[in-house]
Chains A and B, each alone.
Chain A
Amino acid sequence: MQNALQIVYLIPLLPLIGFLINGLGRKHLSKPAISLVGCGTILASFILSIWVFMQVKGGNTYDAHYFNFISVGKLVIPFAFKIDQLSSLFLLIITGVGFLIHVYSTSYMHEEKTEHFGRYFSYLNLFVFSMLLLVMGANFVILFIGWEGVGLCSYLLIGYWFKNTSYNKAASKAFIMNRIGDLAFLIAIFWLIAKLGTVSFSEVFTAANLAKLKTLDITVITILLFVGATGKSAQIPLYTWLPDAMAGPTPVSALIHAATMVTAGIYMIARSNVLYSLAPLTMDIVAYTGLATALLAATIALKQNDIKKVLAYSTVSQLGFMFLALGTGAYVAAVFHVMTHAFFKALLFLGSGSVIHAMSGEQDIRNMGGLSKKLKITFITFLVGCIAIAGIPPFSGFFSKDAILLSAYIKSPVLYGIALFTALLTAFYMFRLLFITFTGTFRGTDDQKHHLHESPVSMTIPLVVLAILSIIGGFVGIPEAIMHGGDKLTAFLSPVIAQHGEHTVSHTTEYMLMGLSTALVVVMIIAAWFVFRNYQRSEATGFGKVLENKWYVDELYEAAFVKPLKRFGSFLNNVFEKSVVDGLVNGVGKAVNYSSRQLRLLQSGQVGSYVLLMVLSMVVFFVIQFFIRK
């Protein structure tokens, strides 16, 4: 019996082909041809993904085994894909949102030279390919291949404008920060191999369920995997690369932040939920790290003036929420938030791209203001995005955030309190951004004012589609308290993510929590309205300055790690290598030279000195004989 799903290999293969065509033919193809290849391959993958999703929904799952990637001794790592509920859902998000971003890019990047236009789309396709590999892999190694692949693509795309030195530095920083996490991930894989001899998801999880792994091993493995996730999904302490990643073209930011890459860590932990549920210590670490990151990033976002930076820190903060959900065992809520976040964050980033496009490249919101009149579609869709991320019902963000807050409440009221506070900050800084950008009076130059225009259709259509999704996207996970059987997502994912323990709070409590958070969010929005509707430029002072400078974390890392390492490297190179290691070697050479020169003197040719030496050595010989050999 052949499984209908056996053609799933086409889903990643098509973007790979697109990458090759655009990459190799970038000098020969026209821009429309490049766009067609770039978007067409992703669209085809998207259609296939819908079909796959339907199949999976109908109860069909598939494990594809292609060839043995590495087989050494008893260790066998197959190149294999796993199509189940979790991966099919991610396939939809990646290809769907990815496709919209591709379409949007055709206009956004139209001023690039054809050659670079082709390069851009080939990178974009490669990015989607890597991400698909990541979620389709049936074992940790294939996941890791995609994992490093998205790291590479982000490196290439962040540094896309490679003439700019600071962009290149941001790209390198992203790659190296990710590599730190990747190392932990790799060690986790090796640990699994050492303990179980396998890396396949199904075998590892079965073994864990059968208690074949000691708790200590599970804890080590899950912590290491989580460290890997902090790199890719930008959590404390490895989050600093993500805001710098704004150096890339704006659609790339949307792709990195919404549909791909940063969600990889969430996916990986959700995929490994069996292991995590067996490691309570790790769960606590995940939850607290997530919450701390959410709060830290939200405070920074309050004072940022670059439209993309605000969104970047909001992403870090939202990812923190997702980790909070994972850490409290609400895996489905995390995946749910990945999905809704993909919609509204892609929307917000593409919206910011539309603004930047209209402002001729300006990104500083202090130079904007009053844009709502000229950019109507952008404004309305951006507003939808803000409402969705702030969490006002019935927009999508409300449902997923509510699920996370609820799981935090069940774990501990303190967690809930901090999470709620962070959610309120979110509403405040997002509407600060909205009001400063779109309301009040225009503060830019006359040139910019003259140039202001709504973006072309190929940019606004993705905005509208994403706005609709941001509104209705939450309906797949309506909580049980509101509508019986409304939580379709949990039911759908139940084969992959087992539910531990039922709701421990009454429906009344749930209503109260929802009411409280909604009411407070509305208050925050109103507050933001009063503070920022007529924004005037002002310098940050005191604590605001600390926030504006991101708590000086970058400076701290620079002083604590980068500089000492560089200095140590210089010391090794300039002093140790030359004087000690090589000095020793040359010293041996010199010593030999010197001693042979001295020894040469002995061969003087005078018989007398030879005799003298002979006698002396005989004396020495006898002394040795006498004293040492008794």
Chain B
Amino acid sequence: MIPVLLILVPLLTGLAAFILKNEKTVRSWALFSSLITLAVSLAGLTLLKDAKYMAHQCEWMPALGSSFSVKLDGVGLILTLLNAVSFPLIFIATWNTSYKNARNFFALMLLGQAGMMGVFLAMDALLFYFFWELALIPMYFLCSQWGGEKRIAVTIKFFIYTFVGSLLMLIAILFVYSKTTDRSFSLQSFYDVAVTLNSKQQNLVFWLMFAAFAIKMPIFPLHTWQPDTYEQAPTATTMALSGVMVKMGVFGIIRWLFPIVSGASFQWGDFITPMAIIGMIYASLIALRQDDLKRLVAYSSIAHIGLLCAGLFTQNTSGIQGVMIQMFSHGINIIGLWIVVEWIERNTGTRKISELGGLAQTAPTLAIFFVIIALANIALPLTNAFVGEFLIFNGILSSYTQYYVWFTVMAGVCIILAAAYTLRMVRKVAYGNVNDITSKVTDIRFNEKLALGIIVILIFWIGVFPQPMLDLTNGVTESIVNKFEVIRYPTVPK
């Protein structure tokens, strides 16, 4: 029941929000809904300890061989939890932002959440595709209706870009579907048919699917929609996009790409990992020269996501476990950064680093949160991101490629660059002397303190005791790694 509820609660409350009148009511309604979702998710967390997974299945389109099949397992749990934690944080932090047509705004946000829930839970390829689009379309409207000045052009680019990706994925899904013996979209049938694909077919499916996921993450050089979108979208939407939605790409690789076309995934690893690493360095260098806070965070995020991609393609336990926990950590941390950025823009009227400075004097509480989240962003030990990055880097060095030393060193350069651009941002925004713009602000209020406080607690909690979270995804990671083990050591009987 839990997996169904996770989708239904935001879906139904989201639809209901369309008919609410008062802005304040709809705001409270959205927060209420997101808290219910969080409660359901936490219930799932406690219940899942006894069972390995929770599943629900009923008929959907039997003629096509597609069913409404959802399952909550380790990786699904981590991401639905991230999704469920993120939205209350977003709503609390942006409590004071007012929107025209607020009911539509919040309704679309909740629908987007429902779509993402579905993506993380779907066990049927057609259902997965359905939710994938359901998550995308509300975001499209949110950006185009409530975005900044250049929203229309940017949103169209965002939409076309991701939509092309979706279509490629659909082709891949239909292709695999056509090969299934029982004409079924179920994940199991897809897994079963995977072994019968020859290498040409594998490559075809791999590239079609990977393109969709790579655009979503995004991976260099398919990333240019992202900084523009993050810059133009309303910040609440940007938080949802960067905190949760980009994880759909990572998740897609874990759930669909790797198990279905393990052979091709293994074979193309040496091509994709360097692309991801080049993207990391590339984005870090650009982040180093950004003056706009939003674009800086966006490029920082591209660099971090590149590391996730490199971690996935290590295809070993350490790397993939690192990705699992890092998906959650990255989501939490980047939402924290957006909250700070949004506050700065709302209170100073500018996002330009060169125009800011001295906020540690006029807004000391904000500055403390900002510094802590920034430190988590550069993966300082005992913060959440350290665990993930440590495991990913460890995975890269021990990965099954002859270039492992180069990959580790090149990706490692980003650890230094991340420190450089993040500290530059902190220095120019929080430190130094106040100026006309920053001297008049008053410190953050209760709602922002609450949201940032929760984030900081999560940062340290996961940073000091990461093991419970790592244990959640053990099973999923092992099953993926085993598939690759078979490819690497074909003669060894498993």
Residues of chain A touching chain B, judged by Cβ–Cβ distance below 8 Å, are 67-73, 75, 115, 141, 144-145, 148-149, 152, 155, 159, 162-163, 165, 168-169, 171-172, 175-176, 179-180, 182-183, 186-187, 189-191, 193-194, 565-566, 568-570, 572-573, 577, 581-582, 584-585, 589
Known: A144-B381, A189-B394, A581-B221. 14 other contacts (CB 8 A): A70-B390, A71-B470, A72-B322, A72-B391, A73-B316, A115-B364, A162-B430, A163-B361, A172-B427, A182-B415, A187-B393, A569-B288, A573-B290, A585-B225
**A570 and B416 contact, CB distance less than 8 A:** no
**B380 and A148 contact, CB distance less than 8 A:** yes
* B228 nearest in chain A by CB position: A582
Q: Which of B160, B286, B364, B423 contacts A573 (CB 8 A)?
A: B286
A68 CA / B224 CA spacing, docked (Å)? 41
A183 CA / B409 CA spacing, docked (Å)? 8
Contacting residues, chain B, for A152 (C-beta < 8 A): 375, 380
**A179 and B358 contact, CB distance less than 8 A:** no
**A148 and B381 contact, CB distance less than 8 A:** yes
Contacting residues, chain B, for A172 (C-beta < 8 A): 420, 423-424, 427
B 336-374 binary contact with A (CB < 8 Å = 1; else 0) = 000000000000000000000010110010000000000
B186 touches A (CB below 8 Å)? no
Contacting residues, chain A, for B427 (C-beta < 8 A): 159, 165, 168-169, 171-172
**B423 and A175 contact, CB distance less than 8 A:** yes
Q: What are 21 A-B contacts with C-beta separation under 8 Å?
A: A70-B390, A70-B466, A73-B317, A73-B318, A75-B394, A115-B364, A141-B390, A144-B381, A145-B381, A162-B432, A163-B432, A165-B432, A165-B433, A176-B416, A183-B415, A194-B394, A568-B285, A569-B289, A572-B289, A581-B223, A581-B224
Contacting residues, chain A, for B224 (C-beta < 8 A): 577, 581-582, 585
A75 CA / B397 CA spacing, docked (Å)? 14
B 450-494 binary contact with A (CB < 8 Å = 1; else 0) = 000000000000000111001000000000000000000000000
Q: Which of A141, A176, A194, A589 contacts B420 (CB 8 A)?
A: A176
A456 to chain B, nearest CB (A): 29
**B465 and A168 contact, CB distance less than 8 A:** no
Contacting residues, chain A, for B412 (C-beta < 8 A): 183, 186-187
Residues of chain B touching chain A, judged by Cβ–Cβ distance below 8 Å, are 157, 160-161, 220-221, 223-225, 282, 285-286, 288-290, 316-318, 321-322, 358, 360-361, 364, 375, 380-382, 387, 390-391, 393-394, 397-398, 408-409, 412-413, 415-416, 419-420, 423-424, 427, 430-433, 465-467, 470
Contacting residues, chain B, for A191 (C-beta < 8 A): 397
A400 to chain B, nearest CB (A): 32
**B397 and A187 contact, CB distance less than 8 A:** yes
Nearest 4 A-B pairs (CB), nearest first?
A73-B317, A190-B397, A145-B381, A569-B285
A456 CA / B74 CA spacing, docked (Å)? 62
A163 CA / B361 CA spacing, docked (Å)? 8
**A193 and B398 contact, CB distance less than 8 A:** yes
Q: Which of B316, B397, B431 contacts A162 (CB 8 A)?
A: B431
Contacting residues, chain B, for A141 (C-beta < 8 A): 390
Q: Which of B289, B358, B466 contacts A69 (CB 8 A)?
A: B466
**B423 and A190 contact, CB distance less than 8 A:** no
**A566 and B318 contact, CB distance less than 8 A:** no
A155 CA / B427 CA spacing, docked (Å)? 11
A572 CA / B322 CA spacing, docked (Å)? 30
* B295 nearest in chain A by CB position: A573
Contacting residues, chain A, for B381 (C-beta < 8 A): 144-145, 148-149
A145 CA / B463 CA spacing, docked (Å)? 11
* A68 nearest in chain B by CB position: B467
* A149 nearest in chain B by CB position: B381
**B398 and A194 contact, CB distance less than 8 A:** yes
**B419 and A179 contact, CB distance less than 8 A:** yes
Contacting residues, chain B, for A67 (C-beta < 8 A): 465, 467
Beyond A69-B466, A187-B408, is A566–B160 a contact (Cβ under 8 Å)? Answer: no
A420 CA / B161 CA spacing, docked (Å)? 68
**A70 and B467 contact, CB distance less than 8 A:** yes
**A145 and B382 contact, CB distance less than 8 A:** yes
Q: How many residue pairs at the A-B interface have CB separations less than 8 Å? A: 131
* B420 nearest in chain A by CB position: A176
B288 to chain A, nearest CB (A): 5
Contacting residues, chain A, for B225 (C-beta < 8 A): 585
Contacting residues, chain A, for B432 (C-beta < 8 A): 162-163, 165, 168
**A190 and B467 contact, CB distance less than 8 A:** no
A171 CA / B161 CA spacing, docked (Å)? 42
Q: Which of A175, A179, A183, A193 contacts B394 (CB 8 A)?
A: A193
A194 CA / B395 CA spacing, docked (Å)? 9
**B416 and A179 contact, CB distance less than 8 A:** yes
A73 CA / B282 CA spacing, docked (Å)? 32
B402 to chain A, nearest CB (A): 14
Beyond A163-B361, A172-B424, A581-B221, is A572–B317 a contact (Cβ under 8 Å)? Answer: no
A522 CA / B393 CA spacing, docked (Å)? 53
**A190 and B398 contact, CB distance less than 8 A:** yes
A69 CA / B361 CA spacing, docked (Å)? 37
A193 CA / B290 CA spacing, docked (Å)? 37
* B418 nearest in chain A by CB position: A179
Contacting residues, chain A, for B358 (C-beta < 8 A): 163
B54 to chain A, nearest CB (A): 24
Q: Which of B316, B419, B467 contacts A176 (CB 8 A)?
A: B419
**A565 and B288 contact, CB distance less than 8 A:** yes
Contacting residues, chain B, for A570 (C-beta < 8 A): 289
Q: Which of B286, B364, B420, B431 contacts A163 (CB 8 A)?
A: B431
Contacting residues, chain B, for A566 (C-beta < 8 A): 288-289
**A572 and B416 contact, CB distance less than 8 A:** no
Contacting residues, chain B, for A171 (C-beta < 8 A): 423, 427
A179 CA / B413 CA spacing, docked (Å)? 10
A342 CA / B491 CA spacing, docked (Å)? 60
Contacting residues, chain B, for A193 (C-beta < 8 A): 394, 397-398
A283 to chain B, nearest CB (A): 23
Contacting residues, chain A, for B282 (C-beta < 8 A): 572
A396 CA / B144 CA spacing, docked (Å)? 73
Q: Which of B221, B380, B391, B433 contacts A70 (CB 8 A)?
A: B391
Contacting residues, chain A, for B467 (C-beta < 8 A): 67-71
Q: Which of A68, A72, A168, A572 contacts B431 (CB 8 A)?
A: A168
Contacting residues, chain B, for A70 (C-beta < 8 A): 387, 390-391, 466-467, 470
Beyond A72-B318, A163-B358, A176-B423, is A149–B382 a contact (Cβ under 8 Å)? Answer: yes
B395 to chain A, nearest CB (A): 9
A586 to chain B, nearest CB (A): 8
A577 CA / B285 CA spacing, docked (Å)? 11
A75 CA / B322 CA spacing, docked (Å)? 13
A189 CA / B398 CA spacing, docked (Å)? 12
* B433 nearest in chain A by CB position: A163
B457 to chain A, nearest CB (A): 13
**B393 and A186 contact, CB distance less than 8 A:** yes
* A583 nearest in chain B by CB position: B224
A155 CA / B358 CA spacing, docked (Å)? 17
* B160 nearest in chain A by CB position: A589
* B481 nearest in chain A by CB position: A73
* B290 nearest in chain A by CB position: A573
**B415 and A72 contact, CB distance less than 8 A:** no
Contacting residues, chain B, for A149 (C-beta < 8 A): 381-382
A569 CA / B387 CA spacing, docked (Å)? 29
Beyond A70-B470, A149-B381, A172-B423, is A572–B285 a contact (Cβ under 8 Å)? Answer: yes
A182 CA / B360 CA spacing, docked (Å)? 28
B86 to chain A, nearest CB (A): 25
A17 to chain B, nearest CB (A): 15
B168 to chain A, nearest CB (A): 14
**A72 and B470 contact, CB distance less than 8 A:** yes
A87 CA / B59 CA spacing, docked (Å)? 65
A315 CA / B136 CA spacing, docked (Å)? 58
* B387 nearest in chain A by CB position: A70
Contacting residues, chain A, for B397 (C-beta < 8 A): 187, 190-191, 193-194
Chain A CB within 10 Å, residue with most, of B223, B225, B391, B419 = B419
Contacting residues, chain B, for A186 (C-beta < 8 A): 390, 393, 412, 415
